[in-house]
Structure 1
Amino acid sequence: MKVPVFVYGALRQGASNAWRMERASFVGKATGAGTLVKVDWYPGLVLGGDALVQGEVYQVDEQTLRELDEFEGIGVEDTRNDEYRRVEATVRLDDGTLLSCQIYEWQLGVEAYEVVANGDWLTVAASR
């Protein structure tokens, strides 16, 4: 069974970890409501609000989802396990379709981080 996943940072096409999505099927570009922050070389997304975050939706198999969980530090015992949680949220595909997806949500708030005002991590990654 495949699951839709919204990615907004290093997993997007052209980003540093896009190779992790090689077995996934690209559905399309999308936006989700939330605040995007620059954590380090990677972003975090706090869901909610009126701002839009740019991303992509992929259909992933169970193995890829497990690998993504490990990459994001979910379900493993390490120092990252409090950074993200995988939740279900609705995004809007570029064609206007609303789609419920799995999203890796940042858990450490926005106060201590630089907000990416335009909601597009690729513009930050390209400027480094």
Structure 2
Amino acid sequence: MPEAPERLVFVYGTLRRGGRNDINRLQPAPHYVGMGEVRGILYHIDWYPGLTLGGEEAVTVVGEVYRITPELEVVLDAIEQIVPGADSEYFKRKVDVFVDGRPLHCLLYEINPARVRGKRAIGHGDWIVFHTS
């Protein structure tokens, strides 16, 4: 039986290198591909961020792209509290992320829009800079 294909994931918050949930500390280990960018709005939810894609006030949101296995994807789904239906903390999306100017089709965890009501947009697209300032 052939192995399941690896997938790409874009991480923009606590899963980034050095973050509270650094993807590099998880198993099976991911493979770093490069820095990536998407357009959206980054919100300060609590000790973690949430990203909504697009929007009139969208900025360039930066993050890291990793090649992951299906087994690691299951771990990420648990961290991001993916559950069936409208109550999920995040929704898993497949989007084009730009890495070195070229689009790569990646998984991305977009915050449930209901979770950003009353939350503050951080005004730029880099959670690590915001969180460490």
Normalised-by-shorter TM-score class: 0.7 to 0.9
Unpaired runs of 5+ residues, structure 2, are: none
RMSD of aligned residue pairs (Cα, Å): 1.7
TM-score, structure 1 normalization: 0.87
- The reply on whether 1:70 has 2:74 as its aligned counterpart is no
| Deviation per residue, 1:23-61 (Å, 9 max, x gap) | 000000011111000000000000113411110100000
1:57 corresponds to: 65
The residue type paired with residue 32 of structure 2 is: F
2:106 corresponds to: 101
Alpha-carbon distance in 2 for matches of 1:22, 1:112:
36
Map of 1:6-45 to 2, 5 A cutoff?
Answer: 6-18=10-22, 19-20=25-26, 23-45=29-51
TM-score, structure 2 normalization: 0.84
Unpaired runs of 5+ residues, structure 1, are: none
Corresponding residue pairs, total:
122
Alpha-carbon distance in 1 for matches of 2:27, 2:45:
21
1:2 corresponds to: 6
**CA spacing shift, 1:24–1:36, aligned 2, 3 Å:** same
- The reply on whether 1:46 has 2:36 as its aligned counterpart is no
